[in-house]
Amino acid sequence: MANILVTGGAGFIGSHTCVELLASGHEVIIVDNFSNSKPEALKRIKKISGKDVKFYETDILDLDGLNKIFDENRIDAVIHFAGLKAVGESVQKPVEYYHNNITGTLMLIQAMRAHDCKKIVFSSSATVYGVDNPVPYVETMPTHTATNPYGYTKVMIEQILRDVAVSDPEWSIVLLRYFNPIGSHKSGLLGEDPNGIPNNLFPYIQQVAIGKREYLGVFGNDYDTPDGTGVRDYIHVMDLASGHLCAVDYVLGHKGVEAVNLGTGKGSSVLDVLHAFEKACGKKLAYKIMPRRAGDIAWCYANTDKAKKLFGWEAKYGIDEMCTDGWNFIQKNPNGL
C-alpha cells in the first residue's frame, strides 16, 4: 500500500484511476484546479470506492501550493495527469499550452525533488509518434514529429523526465502513452464530461444519442482506410486505469525510465464507433461528413507487447463494452456530472 498523489485526479482518466487505486488498497491524494473537471467527480469517487480521498484545490503552476501538499503528506509516488489537452485549442493557444503543461510539470518535479519523492507515472499520449512513423506504434520509434503544440508538450515533458533520470539514477519514471480512452465506469457514476463543445469523438456521439446535438460531424471520409474515416485505437477507460495501477506498482519497485503504450492494438474507424454506439443505444444516429481537420492522421494504433511484458497488462474490453458503458453513463447523467 502506498500514498499516491494524483494531479488532475478529478478529470476523466484521473477519476477512474483513483477508483482503481483505492480498490487496490492505495491511499489517494488528489490535486486539481477544476479547469476541465468538476468537484462532483470527487463525490462520485468516494461513492464508488466507499473511501475518503484527501483533496487540494491547487494549480500545478503554484510551487508553494505543491510544496505545502508534500509538507503535509508522505507521498510515495505521483501520477501526473494535470494539463491542458485539446489539440485544436493548443494550435490557437500555443503559449498557454506550453506554459501550463511544461512549466506545471517543472514545478511538480521541483516539489517532488525537494521532498525526496522520485517516482512518477506521466500521462503521455500517442500523439508523440507524430506523422512519420508507420503503425502499429512501438515505444522505440522516434518522437519528434508531433503535429500540434499539445503533442509537443508531451514530447518535451517526456524528454525532461528522461533528463531528470539521467541526472539522478534514483528516479523511477513510467511514460504512459495513451491511445484513445472512451467508455465509463460500470456504475454510470463516472464518465467523460467535457466543458463546452466536446473535442473528442465519444462524448460528441453521446450528446447526439441523448438528443443534445443534432448530428455528429465526421472530419474527412477520404482517408486511406476501409471506410475513409480516421482509424484510432480506442481503449476502455477502466482498462487504462488498470494500466496505471500496474505502472504505479512498477515505479515503486524499479529505477530508470520506461515508455509504455496503453492501447488495445486494434484500430476502429469513426464510423465503426458510431455504429457500435447505435447498437448500444438502439437507434440510428445522424452524422455529416465535414472537411478534414488539420493535424489529423489516417491511422493510429498501438503495438502493446511491452505493456504485456513489463506489467503483465493487456486490455480486456472491446468497442461494444465501451459503447454500452458510455451509453449507460450519458443516460444517467444527460447534463454531465
Q: Which residues are catalytic?
A: 150
| 231 φ/ψ sector (left φ>0, alpha ψ -120 to 50, else beta) | beta
Q: Which three cell numbers stand for residue 296?
A: 489529423
Give 141's Cβ-side CA count (13 Å radius). Answer: 23
The CB density around residue 23, as the number of other CB atoms within 10 Å, is: 15
Instruction: Give the CA-trace dihedral at 146, 152, 155, 161, to 10 degrees.
Output: 180
Ranges of H-type helices in 282-334: 305-311, 319-332
What is the C-alpha end-to-end distance of the chain, expressed in Å? 30
Q: Which helix (H) or strand (E) holds 45?
A: helix 40-49
Q: Which three cell numbers stand for residue 125?
A: 499520449
d(CA 125, CA 184): 19
